[in-house]
Homo-oligomer: A and B are copies of this chain.
Amino acid sequence: MRLILAAGTTETALVDGISAAGATPELMAHTPPGDAELLVYGEPVRSPVTPISPTGCVTPAAVTRAVREVRAFPVTTIDAGLAAPTAAPTVTLDAKPGADIRDERAVPDADGLFERARSFGASLPDDAITIGETIPGGTTTALGVLTALGERVGVSSSLPANPMEQKRSVVRDGLEASGIEAGECESAPLAAIEAVGDPVQATVAGVAAGALEAGIDVTLAGGTQQLAIAAVLRHAGVTGPLTVATTSFVAADRGEDIERAADRFDCELTVTDPGFDERDHVTMNRYCAGEVKEGVAMGGALSLVPTDDLAAVRDRFAAICDRLGVDEFLDGAEPESAPDPSVSSEGR
């Protein structure tokens, strides 16, 4: 099993209050590069900060890394439109950062990017791949694509309180700017991505399509965003077996909605629970309270861990939090206060 991480950006993330994938909007561009470095090296290397939410809750990349330290598997990161440099090695598919979906075109090269990703996916020598993503603002672009496809599926959020009305408003503006109606892209999913999607969607959908062609087992690791990609694949006529692996935090937030969506797009659904409620650990408590929820293949990585090994994953996660220094400002910090980004680059 190879874990593939598509890391990219969309300017949609800069809409105020829409994403928690970064301590501040200015730092959001560093979240995907930092996530990739954390996964590859165990800590940020070139990235100036450890990716954390505005309330100081650490990126799910730390959970995926903890799994990797317990159960080794190869990781391959794809540059799916990065806007800041990373020290993580990345596969280049000539992806560009995505524009704000309220611009006329969010991903001008969606077709070409999908095709290059498809070719890469089809050439992989693996029996099975698990594909994750890191892109701040990705649930809003997921809502955009689902809406353009005419699919009535809700979306989750990395914030404890989902700013759903704001996302709907951004998507409405995005469709209007692109001159398309909800549902108009039913038979043209790449046009939906081009209009109101993001480059990670084109990349993940392409890799998955290519891998399925080559007979490789494909797991889409993530929640809402991966269901949107499953929708893109089904609307594109891709019929191979797909599994969506997500966390119990997404499932708790979305309830039966996520099962219905998985059924609708003919996906197996795997829900994994890291058992963070078994520990009194400040960051684990935050996850249990519904912060962050999923990302960077967290649910898919956890699905590789037998229940007996989950305690080891929690131990590694706690050790990674210590190493990154991300808990020190969580203790007693007000959720509203922006953490000091310099803290997380200590010791490097």
Distance, CA A262 to CA B4, complexed state (A): 41
Instruction: State whether A43 touches B89 (Cβ < 8 A).
Output: no
Give the number of times this chain occurs in the complex, counting copies: 2
Distance, CA A41 to CA B46, complexed state (A): 25
List residues of A (110-139) whose CB comes within 8 Å of B's CBs: 119-120, 123-125
Instruction: State whether A45 touches B76 (Cβ < 8 A).
Output: no
Given B45, B90, B120, which contacts A46 in the complex, CB threshold below 8 Å?
B120
Given B45, B77, B125, which contacts A123 in the complex, CB threshold below 8 Å?
B45
Residues in B with CB closer than 8 Å to A77 are 89
Given B45, B76, B78, B89, which contacts A124 in the complex, CB threshold below 8 Å?
B45
Distance, CA A42 to CA B124, complexed state (A): 10
Give chain A's interface residue range (CB within 8 Å of chain B): 20 to 34
Distance, CA A120 to CA B40, complexed state (A): 14
Instruction: State whether A89 touches B87 (Cβ < 8 A).
Output: no
Residues in B with CB closer than 8 Å to A124 are 41, 45
Instruction: State whether A92 touches B91 (Cβ < 8 A).
Output: no
Distance, CA A123 to CA B41, complexed state (A): 10
Contact with B along A314-348 (1 / 0, CB 8 A): 00000000000000000000000000000000001
Least CB distance from A347 to B in Å reads 10
Residues in B with CB closer than 8 Å to A88 are 89, 91
Tell me whether A237 is interfacial, beta carbon within 8 Å.
no
Distance, CA A43 to CA B46, complexed state (A): 29
Residues in B with CB closer than 8 Å to A120 are 45-46, 87
Least CB distance from A97 to B in Å reads 15
Residues in B with CB closer than 8 Å to A161 are none
Tell me whether A215 is interfacial, beta carbon within 8 Å.
no
Residues in B with CB closer than 8 Å to A74 are 40
Contact sample, A vs B, 20 pairs, CB 8 Å cutoff: A41-B124, A41-B125, A42-B125, A43-B125, A45-B120, A45-B123, A45-B124, A46-B123, A72-B72, A77-B89, A86-B92, A87-B91, A87-B123, A88-B91, A89-B90, A90-B90, A90-B92, A92-B92, A123-B348, A125-B348
